[in-house]
Amino acid sequence: MDKKVAFYTLGCKLNFSETSTIARDFSSEGFERVDFKEKADIYVINTCSVTENADKRFKSIVKQAQKVNPEAFVAAVGCYAQLKPQELADVDGVDLVLGATEKFKITDYLNDLSKNDMGEVHSCEIEDANFYVGSYSIGDRTRAFLKVQDGCDYKCTYCTIPLARGVSRSDTLENVLENARVISERNIKEIVLTGVNIGDYGKGEFGNKKHEHTFYELVKALDKVEGIERLRISSIEPNLLKNETIEFVSKSKAFVPHFHIPLQSGNNEILKLMRRRYMKELYVERVSRIKEVMPHACIGVDVIVGFPGETDDLFLETYNFLNELEISYLHVFTFSERDNTVAASLEGVVSKKVRAKRSKMLRGLSVKKRRAFYESQIGSWRTVLFESENKEGYIQGFTENYVKVKSPWDPELVNTLQTVELTNIDDDGLVRFNFKKTQTL
């Protein structure tokens, strides 16, 4: 009888693409993949280290697995497993912890799947995480996450990702294009490009520090791949999002008008303390350029509140900066001290209570921004890709510029692209629409 394996992924799109790749390795070794809530012989948890909560959630996920099958073998992989392997190994029920390079060879570490008295750790020195493993996820039929780059050479003072994932390195252009073709052959309509610092694409493509190709060249080459209806750039640093890429996306057949650009703070002093590689003036330039060539583009922003040294005045500067900027939504992160980062020992610590208050203010601003963006799109014709889940009698989907829409459930619409006219915003904040009279797609 086939052994069963179940996966749980914490964190980012990149982790999802890697879980999917690891799962395919298990399938080729004869394992049957089941849902995490079902009984399995082995549970693999792909961890994240970006926030404190990810650490706490890990323990509850292990408990969840043990409740279903106390005899099951539990393995932890991913960023947190690289940063704090012993801490994870000490969690009751964990049998195996694999670091950044070992996670892609997980099946080599499984002998007889019998429970260990102590969690076994295999974790490289992060300097050894210098080779590239390509990944893509195809769990959700409507879209796939395609990894093009890993690691980061930036030294932002709050971030553990370089410690968890190693140096910046890229997949070869040939391999990315091949993976994109494989995905498109599976009738997946949208590919989301993902990585740690995807604007740095091309560095380390052949194991060296040279940029063999640029992100712009990658975008141009992917646009030519047959069969991909939509390409979306997940998140890109403002200093690496060049005007040539913005111009190209505005005319592209497959790339959609949606950018997610981390800002982190609207104050230059704080940006310097964070060791970001731009000032807020550059950020304004990027947003203005996008809106100039694509007025309907959706722009998402990452921002951190409560960074050491952020006084009330400096926070309000960030708030006002974002309020005046023509952006569409925010991802708000509350600063949390991480071991082995410069920011953990900076002066001017902001109390947890103040951090929470600021976070709430910015989340409120995000709701307002998204609403205003959705309102600006009412009356326009857009293309929607419909998702596969029946959500309380409704089907949902996203327009090319990331407006979330809903309509009464119709299984015929799943994984199709439809041209619609956006008509009004529903009570739950999602947008309703009319179909085009004669559908051609």
pLDDT for residue 127 is more than 70: no
Mean pLDDT of 110-125: 65
Tokens of 171: 């997949």
pLDDT of residue 130: 63
pLDDT of residue 294: 98
Alpha carbon dihedral 230, 235, 239, 240, in 10-degree steps, equals -50
pLDDT of residue 85: 86
Mean pLDDT of 252-267: 96
Q: Distance of alpha carbon 402 from its chain centroid, rounded?
A: 15
- Measured CA to CA, the distance from residue 356 to residue 331 in angstroms comes to 14
Give this prediction's pTM.
Answer: 0.83
- Lowest mean pLDDT, pick from 18-27, 188-197, 207-216: 207-216
pLDDT of residue 251: 97
Place of tokens 């103040």: 354
At 87, phi and psi to the nearest 5?
-60, -40
pLDDT for residue 54 is more than 70: no
Write out pLDDT tens, residues 275-311: 999 999 999 999 999 999 999 999 999 999 999 999 9
Write out pLDDT tens, residues 342-361: 999 999 999 999 999 999 99
Residue whose C-alpha is closest to residue 211's, from 153, 164, 165: 153
% of the chain at pLDDT higher than 70: 92
Q: Encode 277-298 in three state secondary structure.
A: CCCHHHHHHHHHHHHHHCCCCE
Give every CB contact of residue 195 below 8 A, 6+ residues apart in sequence: 14, 147, 148, 149, 150, 170, 201, 234
pLDDT for residue 439 is more than 70: no
